[in-house]
């Protein structure tokens, strides 16, 4: 780094402002007729000393501009041997040290120059600059010794913060938009004898007790095991994305699966796939009851028994019907019902442990008026089962 421009202004450093006594080498104003230190008269010899110093420093400055700092320093040192009280020579040596980034040497030379000419504002400015750079160098050296990391630019820090904010916003948007439509499907529970149209869900008003806390709502709590079952079946079944709810029946080895029936598809095929997945995943299940809902209306019910499922897995049955989904559904499902039809099942839907049959359960559920609010199973609502 080159020193400031004022460091090369030789006219401001010596002869233009002061004259030097040829006898004691003290500085005095150009208008003085006698030396203020020794009283010697000003004569041509005094002027010749100033001219000699000026010529040497001009040569040293030229060498410095050419990049030969070492040779320039030698010229200044020879000048100091001849004229040890030359403030411009001290200043020039400070400038050379400044150019080498030797801040400590620069401070020393500028201080010596000010000892000779204390009122030099130019040397004061150069001294302060050198001291500031020396302090910065000492601080950096201390940080390196302590193993402290170098400070990063403020722009990089602000850029990192901005990127972090953008990343968090993008992640939040992805999580919100990535929710399956099934997460908002209503929880349904209805009888099997009559189509039931579910009313729109009313706004939920928090129930607060006298102490300001929330009152427990048992009907709103879904058994954790039903929620986990619904999630597992939805993940494995080919039509798992249509599953809304899995509700196990306490005291029995049966479960009721409620799913959404799309327009124009065969509800029996979807039911058979869901039942097969449930029976494969849960070996203790004996009966899977299935209910299909379209536009909040019950449109299909059926049951699947493990004994019938085991028949479809036999080698003899597979040799004839392997890959035939229609035959599989007809063999597996029993008690099928659709609006305007009677149950066409002649097989017994009673589980081996003696729990209620489909007809008994359907008769009881048909009398319920608020089927949506009485659902106690694990469903695919927000926070429950993810969509398949």
From 25, 41, 45, select the one nearest 33 (Cα to Cα): 41
From 26, 20, 28, select the one nearest 45 (Cα to Cα): 20
The C-alpha atoms of residue 380 and residue 226 are separated, in whole angstroms, by: 10
pTM beyond cutoff 0.75: no
From 91, 81, 82, 89, select the one nearest 7 (Cα to Cα): 91
Please list the pLDDT of the chain residue by residue as tens digits (388 residues).
Answer: 444 444 444 443 444 456 666 556 667 777 777 677 776 666 645 556 677 788 888 988 888 888 899 999 999 999 888 888 888 989 999 999 999 999 999 999 999 999 998 999 999 999 999 999 999 988 887 777 776 655 555 656 677 788 888 888 888 877 777 654 444 444 444 444 555 555 555 554 544 444 444 444 444 445 788 899 999 999 999 988 999 999 988 888 899 999 999 988 899 999 999 999 999 999 999 999 999 999 989 999 999 999 999 999 999 999 999 989 999 999 999 999 988 776 555 454 554 444 444 444 443 444 333 333 334 455 554 333 333 3
pLDDT computed for residue 384 by the predictor:
37
Q: Give Cβ neighbours of residue 266 (< 8 Å, ≥ 6 apart).
A: 329
Let me know: does 304 contact 273? Beta carbons within 8 Å. Answer: no
Let me know: does 264 contact 291? Beta carbons within 8 Å. Answer: no
Indicate where the chain has its CATH 1.25.40.10 domain(s). 5-146
Let me know: does 334 contact 359? Beta carbons within 8 Å. Answer: no
The C-alpha atoms of residue 310 and residue 282 are separated, in whole angstroms, by: 14
pLDDT one-digit tens code per residue, 181-235: 444 444 444 444 555 555 555 554 544 444 444 444 444 445 788 899 999 999 9
pLDDT computed for residue 257 by the predictor:
94
User: Which 3-state string (H, E, C) describes the chain?
Assistant: CCCCHHHHCHHHHCCCCEEECCCCCCEEECCCCECCCCCCECCHHHHHHHHHHHHHHHHHHHHHHCCCHHHHHHHHHHHHHHCCCCHHHHHHHHHHHHHCCCHHHHHHHHHHHHHHCCCCHHHHHHHHHHHHHHHHHHHHHHHHHHCCCCCCCHHHHHHHHHHHHHHHHHHHHHHHHCCCHHHHCCCCCCCCCCCCECCCCCCCCCCECCCCCECCCHHHCCCHHHHHHHHHHHHHCCCHHHEEEEEECCCCCEEEEEEECCCCCCHHHHHHHHHHHHHHHCCCCCEEEEEEEECCEEEEEEEEEHHHHHHHCCHHHHHHHCCCHHHHHHHHEEEEECCCCCCCCCCCCCCCCCCCCHHHHHHHHHCCCCCCCCCCCEECCCCCCCCC
Buried b (16+ CB within 10 A) or exposed e, 326-351: eebbebbbbbbbbeeeebebeeebbb
From 354, 358, 312, select the one nearest 337 (Cα to Cα): 358
The C-alpha atoms of residue 15 and residue 53 are separated, in whole angstroms, by: 8
pLDDT one-digit tens code per residue, 287-305: 999 999 999 899 999 999 9
The C-alpha atoms of residue 298 and residue 294 are separated, in whole angstroms, by: 7
CATH fold group of domain 5-146: 1.25.40
Using the Cα atoms of residue 215, residue 219, residue 225 and residue 226 in order, give the sign of their dihedral. Answer: negative
Q: Give Cβ neighbours of residue 138 (< 8 Å, ≥ 6 apart).
A: none
The C-alpha atoms of residue 113 and residue 95 are separated, in whole angstroms, by: 11
What is the end-to-end Cα distance of the chain in Å, rounded? 68
The C-alpha atoms of residue 240 and residue 344 are separated, in whole angstroms, by: 26
């Amino acid at each position: 780094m080159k020193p400031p421009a004022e460091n090369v202004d030789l006219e401001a450093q010596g002869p233009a402002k002061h004259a030097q006594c040829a006898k004691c080498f003290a500085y005095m104003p150009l208008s003085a007729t006698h030396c203020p230190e020794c009283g010697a008269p000003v004569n041509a010899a005094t002027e010749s000393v100033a001219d000699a110093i000026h010529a040497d420093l001009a040569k040293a400055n030229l060498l410095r501009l050419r990049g030969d700092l070492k040779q320039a320093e030698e010229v200044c040192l020879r000048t100091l041997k001849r004229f040890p009280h030359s403030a411009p020579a001290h200043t020039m040596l400070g400038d050379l040290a400044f150019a080498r980034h030797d801040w400590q040497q620069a401070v020393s030379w500028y201080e010596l120059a000010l000892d000779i000419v204390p009122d030099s504002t130019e040397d004061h400015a150069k001294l302060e600059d050198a001291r500031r750079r020396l302090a910065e160098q000492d601080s950096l050296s201390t940080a390196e010794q302590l193993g402290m990391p170098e400070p990063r630019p403020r722009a990089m820090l602000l850029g990192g913060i901005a990127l972090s904010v953008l990343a968090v916003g993008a992640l939040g948007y992805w999580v919100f938009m990535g929710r399956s439509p099934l997460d908002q499907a209503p929880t349904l529970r209805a009888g099997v004898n009559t189509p039931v149209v579910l009313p729109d869900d009313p706004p939920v008003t928090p129930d607060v007790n006298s102490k300001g806390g929330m009152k427990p709502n048992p009907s709103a709590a879904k058994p954790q095991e039903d929620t986990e079952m619904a999630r597992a079946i939805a993940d494995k079944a080919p039509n798992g994305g249509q599953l809304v709810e899995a509700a196990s029946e306490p005291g029995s080895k049966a479960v009721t699966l409620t799913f959404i029936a799309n327009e124009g598809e065969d509800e029996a095929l979807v039911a058979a796939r869901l039942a097969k997945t449930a029976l494969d995943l849960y070996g203790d299940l004996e009966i899977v009851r299935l209910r299909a809902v379209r536009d909040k209306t019950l449109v299909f019910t059926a049951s699947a028994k493990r004994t019938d499922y085991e028949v479809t897995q036999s080698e003899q049955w597979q040799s004839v019907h392997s890959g035939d989904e229609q035959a599989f559904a007809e063999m597996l499902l029993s008690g099928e019902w659709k609006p305007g039809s009677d149950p066409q099942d002649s097989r017994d839907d009673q589980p081996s442990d003696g729990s209620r049959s489909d007809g008994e359960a359907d008769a009881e559920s048909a009398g319920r008026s608020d089927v949506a609010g009485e659902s106690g199973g694990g469903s695919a609502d927000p926070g429950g089962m993810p969509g398949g």
